[in-house]
Structure 1
Amino acid sequence: MVPRLDLRTPGQIVLKSLNDRTLRFREDGTFHIGVFEDLHFAEDDEKDEKSKEVMSYILSEEDIDFVVINGDLVSGERTQKADSSKYIDSVVSPLVDQGYRWASTYGNHDSAVNLNPKDDMFEAEHKYPNSLTQSRVSGHEAGITNYYLPVFSHGQSNTSTPALLLWFFDSKGGRYYKKEGEGGPPVKRPSWIDESVVDWFTETNSKLKKEYGKVIPSLAFYHIPAHAMLEHQQTKGVDPHLTPGVNGERVNPQGTNLWRYDGQDVKFMNALLHTEGLIAGFSGHDHQNDWCFKWDGSLVDHNLIGNGINMCYGRHTGYGGYGNLVRGGRQILLHEGNLANDTETWIRLEDGSSQARVTLNATFGQDTYRAVSNDVGKHDSYAQGSLLPLAWLWVPIMMLSRWSM
């Protein structure tokens, strides 16, 4: 097993052995997370190779400590039962080759009639010592990837008090897996975080606070965005200077994938708002969006009043799936000494540039930033940080494509 070199501190080389599965801040107090979003492997070999090139390039350009694969690892409807696990091998190959540890959430395309997320994905990931993906909540409607990972201070053991918690949730969606030989049409799965998972989250977080005698700062990762992002987009708008990023399609939140939205994720949003120390939640799913916003008290969604939690999209990383933005990945840089007010995030693109760098502090949403460059495909018609009428015309087409999968 080849260790990875950590070269951030000038003049100092630290060997990272994958035998040690404990996540820690660096000696300089930083912890850098790279997020790969909507990879959609299995559509064709050429796209998969291009997606791996994007991943490898970002890993070479950013000094990443830990990787999150935040949903839709594959386009499950394009796999076959006999070959589904091989696509996971392909998805994680850039991470395995370069010795990175990772954790996954599963998305709506990670479950299909011919793809069982438990046997074909979760078990495939667990072949690798690099994988920290877990499953902590049982039950038919819970999904698979519901768990948390602690991150400790530099030099601390895994019996110490964590400096940070990373929460992972399965927002489900897609179609239920059917065993070979079963008839009937595909059956859709609920596309929101189940109530049993929310109960587990709130109970576990309460126990951790009691166990450690303090509130531990945290981040949350889930594939399908919360409804508050749509509420923000529709009522307040995505300001390209206050919340820079590409705003290319209508937010499609939990509960809207062939379901009539009836507040299915309200319990989850309420739990997020009542989680002390939660800095931000990160989602994907909408391939033409990559902005963040602060859910503050000026936004009310289903009688829930924001308390300052930040919500961010990732960036469409894979060449599978719809959309023609330049591919990339969200970066998150945490500073242990001031997690609540010095968490930086930006988008690294495959063309070598980075954009939309913001600090998720108390004044995010009020601070002014430069609007992002128009980095979409040259045949695209998206404006910087705004939705043009042509983009709205494409939304039904995108939705038909998404729902048919």
Structure 2
Amino acid sequence: MLYTTYQAQHTILEPWRVMAQGLADCLHQILPSGPAESSMEELLAGGVFSRSVAAAQEVFARLKLTHARPAFDIPSVVCQGREYAITEEKVMSTPFGTLLRFRKEGGPELPRVLLVAPMSGHFATLLRDTVRTLLQDHDVYITDWHNARDVPLRHGPFGLDDYTEHLIRFLDRMGPGSHLMAICQPCVAALAATSLMAQDAHPAQPRSLTLMAGPIDCRVNPTGVNELATSKPMSWFEENMIHKVPWTQRGAGRKVYPGFVQLSAFMAMNRERHQKAFEDMYAHIAAGEHDKAAHTKAFYEEYFAVADLPAEFYLETVGKVFQTYDLPRGALSWRDTMVDPRAIRRTALFTVEGERDDICSVGQTVAAQDLCTSVRPYWRNHHVQTGVGHYGVFSGRRWQNEIYPRVRDVIHQTAA
């Protein structure tokens, strides 16, 4: 019922948002560019009022969610002193995800890296900055997960085991010598996939495994997210967080954890910050300072693009990762096979955490080091980045200048 109500409201408001954006665009064209003047002449001419109307209309138009993946929009990259055009190539696809490669036209042979994106309410494009940075020195692939509300029921369920299996299949398709890098939620599945491939002596087991800000052991320094997950029984999550996709969508009838519910929870954690961001955007637009508003616009265009999670995957993640801690307890299984990180011997391990991470706190990711006891000491590294929160681990200046060089070194030192 909640999803149907949300979809109806979205449908009703969409024409009004389109008209609001149209009015804002018209006013922007009429008004002079640059900062607004405070003179009586502009006030009498209606400039101040018109700018305020345009700003209000644009803010209203942008206060909406979308459900289609934005573009990565990485046309080219500079690699080894030369600029190469980037072509997105679908290497392998399933109903739930695509192995996407960012191919450099005529580029040199570089270490292959599979970047594992979270399935947590947003699209893989949230890692655009991560991809753009990695492309400087690597052949980059990414798990481009599909919106569950667009997957017809005939394709069946998708749980944590299916997610892990996708990583194994993707690495197998990329071939021996590849590297694996996971960010946030999929760190558990990435470690499990690497363990299973090591247990099977799979020829395509990754040369290195980089785990960044991931919940390997949520018993360590629990955050608000962890406390919420343990404050309710699984039956509560199933009854309150899971909804059926409305009949108007391709995945009609599929049980999902809606992306708009996840986004609402994220925004509630930092309500004042988001409110101030939109207040500042309004002020910048009203003042004619469009350059200052551009960054906020770009951020929320991405942030408001939401994707639904399959119910099976969401519930199993809450249960096994956040409530019963199966992996660090040695109780995690994959299709009746126990996952044993001690089997990893040929893969270097690098763990990264953010000092101010309020989603996955310091200590939760480095726990992987204690599980992978067979990895040689000189193939293990850990880094805590000072001054960054969760998103700063994989995007922004600190990621580009301080974290990425360490990631690159680990990959290139184990590439031979």
Q: Which interval holds the TM-score relative to the shorter structure? A: 0.3 to 0.5
Give the structure with the higher percent helix. 2
Higher relative contact order (CA 8 A, sep 6+): 2
Larger Rg: 2
Normalising by structure 1, we get a TM-score of: 0.34
Normalising by structure 2, we get a TM-score of: 0.33
